[in-house]
Each structure stands twice: as structure tokens, then as C-alpha cells.
């Protein structure tokens, strides 16, 4: 069965060619069903009351943690729920003050700003190509000697995936902690944290067919980290002069957490896991290739990277004009710097148009993009 049928959005909006999954994906029916069932039959606050209903909700919430942790090969106590990748990265940057952090030119602003604001010193690594090589990373680590290095798993501008396993090994060989921004990898690249020696990894549910408002942060040793928010649910005992926190992960989840979203997030990881083969063969395989061919075939279009599930391209026109005119053909694509201003500037000062694929896209979608782009380019000529 084509996974497109798992997405009610497309029967409600059949006119749209949705090519903006890198920004946020549509939600899968099993995700919506899991959340609706929980809302209707099991909802209560968690880790609070001693009622059976509260225990039931707590069990579902903690089971969701276990499912999401298992998705990346981690233990439940190594995973905290966050609002998304951005909050996960901010957590790491705020939990301690890092003396020095190395980041790269390929990063989303969410993996630049927290370090710029919190670390004492930051160093920018500019890879020669649009990927980070272990040799170049090693050189940068030897030169700057940072305490921590942070890099994207997959670029949200190019769709190029870095060899994070090798990069983390280089970091640990240099005695440097590592952070992986897994926002764009979670829906398309399975990861087993036991084989990737990173210190932290952050991702978002809404980029992998799950709900917004929730993400996860993996930490190799979260118990060792200080909480970065304070409130109910994270404290064990409090007196006028003494406070003891709950053990991790509770001590990192102050306040009422996104309970229903956690259930949806877990269902999304299950959905992605069940479709990993399809995603590899189609989204990252046949469709990515077809997208490259389609964009190459349109005169005046230059592709930033080939055969990836993110087709970013430039033309001699402003990216916003091109995306706007594509919109008139019902193509939902993105334009601009995609919150990765350092990389966007390097590629093209006015940014790129980005057509990104999800599990529900088809060859027909790509054909429609090609036809719309041909007409757009003629109109702008
Ligand atoms: N990192 C990358 C590579 C992204 O693409 C994004 C979102 O586009 C983020 C981080 C931030 O994710 P979120 O907005 O879900 O926190």
C-alpha cells in the first residue's frame, strides 16, 4: 500500500503538491488515532495523582519515552522530552557553560544561536564541500581545541547527510564532547546510538509525521546534567534550605509535559520504523533521483545537491518570486535561507527554493513540480 493513503491531509487537500516536509511533515493516521484514543479514553496529568487514571496516563507517557528511546537505540533514562530540536540544543547549551564550542557553516540557526549566546567562545568550521569530513573535523579540533563540537546529521538546505558515526569518533578521539542535530535525519535515517558515540542528540516529532510541540534530547549521561528549567514534577524534596531533584529524566522535565504529544510522537517513531525500507528505496532512492532529474531538466535552474530528498535550487530570480509563482500552481515549496543563514549566504545571497520530499510524495508530484517550474521560469524570463 502506498503510504500516502495513511495521511488524511491529502484526501482533504487533493489539489496540493506538498513539497515542504523539511519544514514540517503531515501527520500519519496511526499518529492521529493514537492521540485521539489517548485523549478520549486515558487522559490525565502524569506523575501527579495516585488515581488509577493518572497511573494509566503515566504508564502511557513513560511507555512513549521507552518507544522513542528504543527508536534511537537508547535507554529511557537517557531521553528527555523537549519542545523540539531547538529546545534540546538550548538545554545542552544552558545546562552548563561551555568554555568553547565548535560549530559548522552547515548548521540551522538553532544549532548556532544557543552556543553563540551561552558558550564563552565559539569557533566556526567551514567545510570545503557541503559535507563535514572526518579529516577536516580533526584538523579543526586540533587547531581550536574546543570542549564540545556540534554538527548537523543532515542539512535542511541540501539534504546531504554527514557520516556522524565517524565524526563522533573523531570528537571522542580528541576528548571533545559531541552534539548531533538529528532534526532532518529522524524521518529518513535510522540511527543506533550505541554505535554512534555522541554525547547528545536532538530531534523533533513534527519532522517525522508526528505532532508539533514535542521532541527528544538524548544524553549519554543525563543524570550528570543540571536541570535548565525548574518547577513541578522535577523536585524530590524541598524545604526552606534544601532541595533535592528527582532522578533523570524527571528532573529535566519541569511542569506538565506534552502528554498527548508524547503518545503521538511514539506512534510516529513506530510508523517510521515500519516504513524504513520504503523510505530508503523511495524517498531517498527513486524519488530523490527523479527530483534531481526533473530540476536538471528545467532551463535556468541550478541544483545545490544531487539525489537527496531535499531539492534546493537557485535561478537568476529571487527565490521568493519563484516559490510564490509555484504556489499559484498549488506547489507548496519553501524559499529563502531556511533558517541556515551561514550556509545560505555561501550558496546564494538571496537563498534557494527548496522542494523537500516526504513518505507521501509520488512521481506525479515531481512531474507537477517540473511543469509548474517550466511555466514559472518562462513567466519570469
Ligand atoms: N535543525 C535543523 C537541521 C532543522 O531543519 C530544524 C528545523 O527546520 C531545526 C534544527 C529546528 O527544529 P525545531 O524547529 O523543530 O526545533
CATH number of the domain that 176 lies in? 3.40.640.10
Instruction: Give the Å distance between the CA of 259 and the centre of ligand 1.
Output: 21
Single residue among 236, 253, 273 that ends a domain in this structure: 273
- Counting atoms of ligand 1 from 1, which one is nearest the CA of 87? 16
Question: Which residue in this structure is represented by grid cell 511533515?
Answer: 25
Shortest-distance atom of ligand 1 to CA 154: 3
* 311 C-alpha to ligand 1 centroid (Å): 17
User: Which three three-digit cell numbers place residue 40?
Assistant: 478520549
- 183 C-alpha vs ligand 1 centroid, how far in Å? 5
Residue 1 has pLDDT above 80, yes or no: no
Joined grid coordinates for residue 184: 532532518
How remote is the CA of residue 85 from the centroid of ligand 1, in Å? 6
Q: How many H-runs (helices) and E-runs (strands) does the chain carry?
A: 13, 15
Specify if 23 maps to a domain. no
In the predicted structure, residue 355 carries a pLDDT above the cut 80: yes
Strand partners, 150: 179
Q: Is there an atom of ligand 1 within 6 Å of 161 CB?
A: no
Residue 94 has pLDDT above 80, yes or no: yes
Whether 80 and 249 have beta carbons less than 8 Å apart is answered as: yes
End-to-end CA distance of the chain: 42
- 98 pLDDT exceeds 90? no
> Of 80, 149, 268, 339, which residue is the catalytic one?
339
Q: Is 339 a catalytic residue?
A: yes
Q: Is 204 in the pocket of ligand 1 (CB under 6 A)?
A: yes
In this structure, the answer to whether residues 303 and 234 fall within a common structural domain is no
To test the ligand 1 pocket, which listed residue (24, 25, 85, 268) has its Cβ within 8 A of the most ligand atoms?
A: 85
Question: In 187-255, where do the E strands start and end?
Answer: 200-204, 215-219, 235-238, 243-245
Note the pLDDT of residue 145: 97
**Ligand 1: nearest atom to the Cα of 204:** 15
Does 199 lie in the same domain as 258?
Answer: yes
Say yes or no: CB of residue 183 within 6 Å of ligand 1.
Answer: yes
Q: Residue 304 has what DSSP assignment?
A: S
Q: How far, in Å, CA of 119 to CA of 103, rounded?
A: 11
* Nearest alpha-carbon partner for 89 in 172, 203, 171, 196: 203
**Domain final residue pick, 273, 300, 332:** 273
Quote the radius of gyration of the chain (alpha carbons, Å).
21
The candidate with the shortest Cα–Cα distance to 263, out of 2, 81, 13, 5, is 81
Q: Work out which ligand 1 atom sits closest to the CA atom of 88.
A: 16
- Give a yes or no: residue 173 inside a domain: yes
Question: CA–CA separation, 361 vs 2, rounded Å?
Answer: 10
Check: CB of residue 223 under 8 Å from CB of residue 249: no
354: domain CATH number is 3.90.1150.10
Mean pLDDT (whole number) for 27-41: 97
> Is residue 107 in contact with ligand 1, taking CB distance under 6 Å?
no
Q: Is the pLDDT of residue 380 over 80?
A: yes
Confidence bin at 350 (pLDDT 50/70/90) = confident
Q: Return d(Cα 23, Cα 14) in angstroms, integer.
A: 20
- Report whether residue 319 contacts ligand 1, using a CB cutoff of 6 Å: no
Return d(Cα 13, Cα 225) in angstroms, integer.
45
Helix 363-380, helix 319-327: angle, nearest 10 = 120
Q: Is the pLDDT of residue 43 over 90?
A: yes
Digit-coded pLDDT (tens) for 211-224: 999 999 999 999 99
My answer on whether 265 and 295 are in the same domain is no
Domain boundary among 273, 291, 317: 273
In a domain, 279, yes or no: yes
181 and 229 both lie in a single domain: yes
Domain that holds residue 35: 30-273
Do 86 and 174 belong to one domain? Answer: yes
Mean pLDDT of 126-151: 97
**Rounded Cα–Cα distance for residues 266 and 147 (Å):** 33
Q: How confident is the model at residue 50 (pLDDT cuts 50, 70, 90)?
A: confident
pLDDT of 140 reads 98
Residue 237 sits in the same domain as residue 296: no
Place of cell 550558496: 347
Residue 375 Cα to ligand 1 midpoint, Å, equals 32
Amino acid at each position: 500500500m502506498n503510504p500516502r493513503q495513511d495521511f488524511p491531509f491529502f484526501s482533504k487537500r487533493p489539489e496540493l503538491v506538498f513539497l515542504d516536509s523539511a519544514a514540517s511533515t503531515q501527520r500519519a493516521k496511526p499518529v492521529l488515532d493514537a492521540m485521539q484514543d489517548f485523549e478520549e479514553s486515558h487522559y490525565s496529568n502524569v506523575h501527579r495523582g495516585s488515581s488509577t487514571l493518572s497511573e494509566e496516563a503515566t504508564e502511557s507517557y513513560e511507555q512513549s519515552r521507552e518507544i522513542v528511546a528504543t527508536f534511537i537505540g537508547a535507554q529511557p533514562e537517557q531521553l528527555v522530552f523537549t519542545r523540539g530540536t531547538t529546545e534540546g540544543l538550548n538545554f545542552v547549551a544552558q545546562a552548563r557553560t561551555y568554555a568553547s564550542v565548535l560549530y559548522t557553516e552547515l548548521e540551522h540557526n538553532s544549532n548556532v544561536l544557543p552556543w553563540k549566546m551561552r558558550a564563552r567562545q565559539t569557533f566556526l568550521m567551514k567545510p570545503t564541500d557541503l559535507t563535514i569530513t572526518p579529516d577536516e573535523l580533526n584538523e579543526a579540533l586540533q587547531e581550536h581545541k574546543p570542549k564540545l563540537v556540534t554538527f548537523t546529521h543532515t542539512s535542511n538546505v541540501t539534504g546531504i547527510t554527514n557520516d556522524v558515526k565517524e565524526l563522533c569518533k573523531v570528537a571522542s578521539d580528541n576528548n571533545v564532547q559531541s552534539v548531533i542535530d538529528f532534526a532532518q535525519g529522524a524521518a529518513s535515517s535510522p540511527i543506533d546510538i550505541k554505535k554512534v558515540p555522541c554525547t547528545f542528540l536532538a530531534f523533533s516529532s513534527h519532522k517525522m509525521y508526528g505532532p508539533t510541540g514535542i521532541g527528544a534530547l538524548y544524553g549519554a549521561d543525563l543524570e550528570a546534567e543540571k536541570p535548565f528549567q525548574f518547577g513541578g514534577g522535577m523536585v524530590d524534596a524541598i524545604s526552606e534550605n534544601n532541595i533535592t531533584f528527582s532522578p533523570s529524566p524527571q528532573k529535566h522535565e519541569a511542569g506538565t509535559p506534552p502528554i498527548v504529544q508524547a503518545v503521538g510522537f511514539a506512534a510516529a517513531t513506530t510508523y517510521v520504523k515500519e516504513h524504513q525500507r520504503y523510505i530508503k528505496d523511495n524517498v531517498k532512492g527513486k524519488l530523490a533521483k527523479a527530483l534531481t532529474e526533473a530540476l536538471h531538466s528545467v532551463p535556468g535552474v541550478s541544483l545545490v545537491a544531487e539525489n537527496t530528498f531535499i531539492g534546493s535550487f537557485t535561478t537568476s530570480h529571487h527565490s521568493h518570486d519563484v516559490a510564490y509563482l509555484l504556489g499559484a500552481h498549488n506547489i507548496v515549496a519553501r524559499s529563502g535561507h531556511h533558517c541556515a543563514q551561514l550556509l545560505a549566504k555561501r550558496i546564494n545571497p538571496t537563498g534557494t527554493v527548496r522542494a523537500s520530499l516526504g513518505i507521501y510524495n509520488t512521481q506525479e508530484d515531481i512531474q507537477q513540480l517540473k511543469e509548474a517550474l517550466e511555466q514559472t521560469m518562462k513567466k519570469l524570463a
